[in-house]
Structure 1
């Protein structure tokens, strides 16, 4: 912009000089200025004396400098933009390749943004996919690892490391697209946990048949939560306080008991002494066959493949994690503070 203003100023100075000093018409003055600045080599419009020729030399120099500045800035912008984009793409590619045991979030709409906030608060590694350039740029501004592409395509899922991912969340507004995502991700990684959003009960059933491990309808879930908030407000405040947010004092975590590394497998909950050693409370146990034992007592036997659902402070849960051994499928995350 500065170069264009400078060139326009040089043109104006040249035109006024030839018009006022040399006494030429505005058309001749402008023509002489243009051919001088363009250095096309035409002859003088009217004969010039020494004073006029000295000014023309100065005009040529000013024009060359202004045009050179414009060309330099334009070239710099093009080359710099090209290389910056190339560097950004290379960095993004390396980052995607380095992801492992991460979460994939498909869709950075209103629902997706809230999910991303929760993932970030929990400190889990995750990547976001969205087809909208505007939303991708917004996600980048917020510091998320985000990839622009169609999440229903295998190529896109492969680029964000679906084969090494732990979980994929299909949060697009279209039920059909969420179904495609579930089918594709399960094909590329049969072990991945797929969570999908459904708008209708029919879509919920189809997504379940398509292989989704968990299907959530915002309308059904929202209605249930609103009813619970009306009927049991203190309970809902407590539950919300331990499952989300960045200012929690109590947390709920799940731990998978691997018999090869966990020393308490086969013991009763009383003999394992988890509560006295850590202070954490075992709320429930999910058996390998899917059976849920809520509020287990001291005589409950801890079986191979059990998932313990425990509540405690961050430090209590970290101590519990050390006692249970290096659990490969579930690493305790250190909660972030705001």
Structure 2
């Protein structure tokens, strides 16, 4: 389940404001009722005429001489004195309550976001942004949504997400979303210029944050890289690759699509070997013969050496090694615990660029690199 502090609903009207508002509305209703009943009794009018006259009197609109009697005029004077004051007080109290509620909500949202640490900032709550947030909820990764459109921000808020309403290109908005403590930032808007400027702004504020940016065109990829994006994702390009894989190797595509889902019975994960891990000094074959018997080792990455894909069973684990594994989620959790992985490292983090190659066969990953290089050459020419 996602962390509780990830959710942030607008607070209800405080009790004291609610009581004052109820009293004011009751008083206003009483004034209107007295006015209607009094005019119906004094002037003999029907309900709607009496209500109309009472309303234009209390609101000081007035539509000229209504031809009332002397007694009606004296009653109208009393209605003016009592009604205008009550109506003005009620209107002011309604506005005050709305403003106070809005400020209370913003303070509460700000407080909740300040409690987040090692979270993800998702810029844009369109179709892609919603999908990213849904997956993050399933994996239990805390996040904050930045959305400039009020309607889209409201939809995110209704789903219980932490939301900052504003433009991701502004430094103050990024700071409000907690960029100082975030691990990832995703630029998922459908506006090219906003993604580029947001990437540039985030990189200036945080040189070490991982930035994943959405790109629609090859030339946009180059600009985002220059702006500081750690990785660019072209949805249409990746979608085309997935469709092609579904045609040429449907079983492999189906398996990979299922394995990257958080609720899948077969998981893909990256596991870092900590300095105090009991796995240090053991071979992969030894790990495979014990509690991790249902784990397959896909890749081993070691500092200063090229990745070993697949790693040999005789390789000895060292502190700092990074394993990409596939297998039973329970066994993966066991091995992650043995490796002394920090709790913030998820079993499957769809936004971590280091995990992405494990979600594709080597041949497909090679095709992606070739296609990206070709796109860059075309744009440069």
* TM-score between both structures, scaled by the size of structure 2: 0.70
Alignment partner of 1:162: what SS? coil
Could you tell me which residue of structure 1 aligns to residue 298 of structure 2?
A: 283
Residues 260 and 348, structure 2, Cα contact 8 Å, conserved in 1: no
Deviating more after overlay: 308-317 vs 225-234: 308-317
**Structure 2 SS opposite 1:191:** coil
SS of aligned partner of 2:117: coil
Q: Does 1:295 align with 2:310?
A: yes
| Separation (CA, whole Å) in 2 of partners of 1:9 and 1:219 | 64
1:130 to 147, 151, 168: 147
Structure 1 residue aligned with 2:129:
112
2:165 to 140, 143, 148: 148
Tell whether 2:331 aligns with 1:316: yes
Partner of 2:266: 250
Change beyond 3 A, Cα 1:75–1:123? same
Q: Distance in 1 between matches of 2:79 and 2:148?
A: 48
Matched, 1:307 2:322: yes
Q: Secondary structure at the match of 2:220?
A: helix
Q: In the superposition, relative to structure 1, how do residues 267 and 63 fare at CA in structure 2: closer, same or farther (>3 Å)?
A: same
Query: Are 1:104 and 1:129, in contact at CA under 8 Å, matched by a contact in 2?
Result: yes
Stretch moving more, 120-129 or 317-326: 317-326
Cα deviation for residue 91 of structure 1 reads: 1.0
Q: 1:94 — aligned with what?
A: 111
- 1:175 — aligned with what? 192
1:35 and 1:202 map into 2 onto residues whose CA distance is: 66
Higher relative contact order (CA 8 A, sep 6+): 2
The equivalences for 1:60-71 within 5 A come to 70-71=87-88
Q: Is the 8 A contact 1:255 1:327 kept in 2?
A: no
Match of 1:121, SS state, is: helix
C-alpha contact 2:273 2:341 (8 A) present in aligned 1:
no
Unmatched 5+ stretches in structure 1: 39-44
CA contact (8 A) 2:139 2:348 kept: yes
Larger Rg: 1
Query: Secondary structure in 1 aligned to 2:325?
Result: strand
Provide closer, same or farther for how the CA distance between residues 47 and 276 of structure 1 changes in structure 2, counting only shifts above 3 A.
Answer: closer
Q: Counterpart of 1:218?
A: 235
How does 1:31-42 map onto structure 2 within 5 Å? none
- Of residues 162-171 and 207-216 in structure 1, the stretch that sits farther from structure 2 once superposed is 207-216
